[in-house]
Amino acid sequence: MSVWGWIADVRCHSFGAMFDGDIEEAAAEAESILSTIAPGAVCVPQGWDDRIDCLIRLSDGSVVGEMVPLRELTQSRIVAAGERLRQRANGVAVPLVNEVQSPGKFTGLR
């Protein structure tokens, strides 16, 4: 594990988040929850900024998402993000919390 991964891991545990392990494992666990609510959504670890980005591709090809700081990484936060992303994917213009401003052309989305 890199130094940054170790720091993110320590921060994840010290903030009392419900996810165990390093940031990559936390993102994978968050994605497993998120994808049951918003099919096709992914979680991308951003260790350099102590956050996980939850993203979904819309029907027009654009990508929207929420930035979830590790200190806020709980099951209820991921569920709420999933509900908002699902609504966005269905064309409902709900506001996102900590919206990713420029996700670009992230190719990891289905």
Q: Is residue 7 part of a domain?
A: yes
What stretches of the chain show up as alpha helix (H) in DSSP? 3-14, 23-37, 75-89
Q: Is residue 107 part of a domain?
A: no
Q: Domain for residue 106, yes or no? A: no
Q: pLDDT tens for residues 56-67?
A: 999 999 999 999
| Residue 105 located in a structural domain | no
Q: What is the pLDDT of residue 106?
A: 54
Domain tally for the chain?
1
Q: Which domain holds residue 30?
A: 3-89
Distant-in-sequence, close-in-space partners of 54: CB < 8 Å, separation ≥ 6: 30, 31, 34, 41, 42, 43, 65, 66, 68, 78, 81, 82, 85
16: domain CATH number is 3.30.160
Q: What single letter denotes the amino acid at residue 51?
A: R
Predicted TM-score (pTM) of the model is: 0.77
In a domain, 35, yes or no: yes
pLDDT for 101 equals 83
Is 103 part of any domain? no
Count CA atoms within 13 Å of residue 98 on its CB side: 16
Mean pLDDT score of the chain, rounded to an integer? 83
